């Protein structure tokens, strides 16, 4: 697929998350499947690779370089564009010649390994400049554009025709509206950055539920080019309790003609990205309307053999229910949503009066709980390891529901407070992070409000002082 100006439309994967980088076997598996998904691009920029950010001035050691070189060659053989990304923004001195030359040395090392396409990332960095930087550059944006332009020209002199990408400091609408990076950052970059350099964007938010054509057109006018979508829809590095196996959605096919490409920054755990990859590829290739739910079901159908078990087989309806529980950041899938709706409606009532709705709830909870247990018997242990802790957490909550219903159905316990021998204070939902979470209430408008000391959740957090 090409954009209207003839430039190749980039479709593929960004390994750009915070977390353990994928291993060579996982990257090889990605290359094996990429052509079938319609992918043509892989961007290498894992945040927790020390040489990507913290040690960006230091060259790769021999072993690391050889591993990268083998993968770069494999990408070329498979028709996949390998883009190398560097994130020097944590401590770069923009006016210091030595720092610019450090970028050139790193890119030179990658060129020697066969890399042709590059990217500079200035995301998630402090928007501060050294005094000598301010003497040379009028603004933070001008410093970024100036360094990127110099590196781009150097790369083009050695490797004409290679693609060059740039991630701005404000990379979503909310960041731009709050003037992250300084006033008029995007307008300045759009004006000063070489027109051949692609600019990344994530949409209205870092993780955007929806991205409209109007939103992208407005941005394109500001940055003077079609943006390249860095899509965090399936990213889960910000929430260790979840992974996302729902379909590519919230974007219309008309969006494709307004972009220079779509790259997904997905789940940290490689084995959990089958639906994210397949449905993105289907979206880019689709003609007419986009039915995300149909694409999701088709993807689960093709993934089902990967859930082969030594015990009772996992069937497609089981897989749909499970993945509806781990759908997308802003919502559950339909089957999980219906089960949760029943729980919300019925939990305040006495279980003896639940009727048929209660039977549906009990049956659904028991089915899902049993499925969580059966998943421990998956033959693909890497797949189970990737989801195991989150699946077991779900099973614990389902188990608690069943214990609650059994307690309240026992006449001998009528009027007694419910408790579980398996969910004790300071062990159930413990940890520093969980207790910090208890200190806040988030309103529908996004505002965070401190809990009142009278709130039971606040009191629970105080148990940890004892």
Same-domain pairing of 323 and 444 = no
Q: How far is Cα of residue 444 from the mean position of the Cα atoms in its chain? A: 22
Same-domain pairing of 177 and 145 = yes
Same-domain pairing of 262 and 134 = yes
List 124, 237, 380, 455, catalytic entry? 124
Same-domain pairing of 359 and 328 = yes
In a domain, 200, yes or no: yes
Q: How far is Cα of residue 167 from the mean position of the Cα atoms in its chain? A: 16
In a domain, 374, yes or no: yes
Instruction: Report how far residue 255's alpha carbon sits from residue 233's, in angstroms, rounded to the nearest whole number.
Output: 15
Same-domain pairing of 273 and 396 = no
Instruction: Report how far residue 407's alpha carbon sits from residue 209's, in angstroms, rounded to the nearest whole number.
Output: 40
In a domain, 424, yes or no: no
Q: Work out whether the CA dihedral 209, 211, 215, 221 comes out positive or negative.
A: positive
Same-domain pairing of 357 and 457 = no
Same-domain pairing of 30 and 101 = yes
* pLDDT attached to residue 458: 65
> Which 3 state secondary structure label does DSSP give 198?
strand
| pLDDT tens, position by position, 306-335 | 999 999 999 999 999 999 999 999 999 999
Q: Which residue range forms the structural domain that includes residue 138?
A: 10-290
CA dihedral 234, 317, 312, 379 (to 10 degrees): -20
Residue by residue, DSSP assigns 74-93 as HHHHTT-EEEEEE--TTT--
127 catalytically annotated: no
| pLDDT tens, position by position, 358-387 | 999 999 999 999 999 999 999 999 999 999
In a domain, 370, yes or no: yes
DSSP lists the bridge partners of residue 14 as 43
Same-domain pairing of 247 and 133 = yes
Q: Does residue 52 contact residue 45 with C-beta atoms inside 8 Å?
A: yes
Number of domains observed in the structure of the chain: 3
> Which 3 state secondary structure label does DSSP give 162?
coil
* Pairing of β 440-442 and β 448-450: antiparallel
Q: For position 57, which CATH number holds?
A: 3.20.20.80
Instruction: Report how far residue 174's alpha carbon sits from residue 226's, in angstroms, rounded to the nearest whole number.
Output: 19
In a domain, 5, yes or no: no
In a domain, 279, yes or no: yes
Mean pLDDT of successive 10-residue segments in the chain (466 residues)?
Answer: 61 96 96 97 94 95 96 97 97 96 98 98 91 94 98 96 97 97 97 98 98 98 98 96 97 98 98 98 97 98 97 96 97 97 91 90 96 96 96 94 86 83 80 82 85 74 56
Same-domain pairing of 314 and 270 = no
């Amino acid at each position: 697929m090409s954009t209207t100006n003839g430039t190749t439309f980039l479709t593929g994967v960004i390994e750009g998350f915070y977390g353990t980088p994928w291993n060579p076997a996982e990257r090889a598996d990605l290359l094996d499947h990429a052509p079938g998904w319609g992918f043509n691009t892989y961007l290498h920029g894992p945040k927790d690779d020390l040489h990507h950010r913290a040690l960006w001035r230091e060259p790769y050691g021999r072993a690391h370089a050889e591993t990268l070189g083998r993968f770069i060659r494999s990408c070329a053989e498979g028709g996949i564009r390998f883009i190398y990304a560097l994130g020097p923004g944590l401590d770069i001195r923009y006016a210091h010649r030595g720092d610019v030359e450090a970028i050139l040395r790193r890119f030179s090392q990658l060129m020697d390994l066969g890399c042709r396409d590059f990217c500079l990332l200035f995301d998630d960095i402090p928007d501060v400049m050294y005094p000598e930087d301010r003497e040379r550059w009028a603004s933070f944006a001008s410093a970024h554009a100036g360094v990127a332009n110099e590196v781009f020209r150097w790369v083009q002199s050695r490797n004409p025709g290679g693609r060059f990408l740039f991630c701005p400091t404000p990379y979503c609408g909310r960041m731009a509206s709050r003037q992250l990076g300084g006033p008029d950052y995007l307008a300045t970059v759009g004006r000063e950055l070489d027109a051949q350099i692609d600019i990344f964007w994530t949409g209205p938010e870092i993780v955007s539920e929806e991205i409209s054509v109007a939103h992208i057109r407005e941005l394109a006018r500001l940055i003077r080019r079609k943006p390249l979508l860095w899509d965090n829809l399936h990213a889960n590095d910000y929430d260790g309790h979840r992974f996302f196996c729902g379909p590519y959605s919230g974007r219309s096919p008309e969006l494709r003609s307004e972009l220079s490409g779509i790259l997904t920054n997905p789940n940290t755990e490689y084995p959990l990205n089958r639906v994210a990859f397949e449905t993105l590829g289907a979206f880019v290739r689709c003609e007419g309307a986009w039915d995300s739910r149909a694409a999701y079901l088709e993807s689960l159908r093709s993934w089902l053999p990967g859930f082969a078990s030594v015990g009772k087989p996992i069937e497609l309806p089981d897989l749909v229910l499970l993945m509806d529980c781990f759908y997308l950041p802003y919502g559950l899938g339909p089957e999980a949503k219906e089960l949760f709706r029943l729980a919300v409606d019925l939990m305040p009532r006495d279980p003896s009066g639940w009727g048929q709705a209660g039977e549906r709830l009990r049956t659904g909870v028991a089915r899902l709980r049993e499925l969580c247990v059966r998943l421990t018997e998956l033959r693909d242990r890497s797949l189970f390891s990737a989801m195991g802790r989150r699946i077991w957490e779900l099973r614990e909550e389902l188990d608690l529901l069943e214990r609650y219903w059994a307690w309240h159905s026992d006449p001998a316990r009528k009027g007694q407070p419910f408790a579980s021998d398996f969910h004790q204070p300071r062990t159930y939902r413990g940890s520093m992070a969980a207790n910090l979470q208890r200190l806040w209430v988030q309103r529908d408008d996004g505002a965070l409000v401190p809990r009142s000391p009278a709130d039971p959740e606040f009191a629970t957090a105080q148990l940890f002082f004892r």
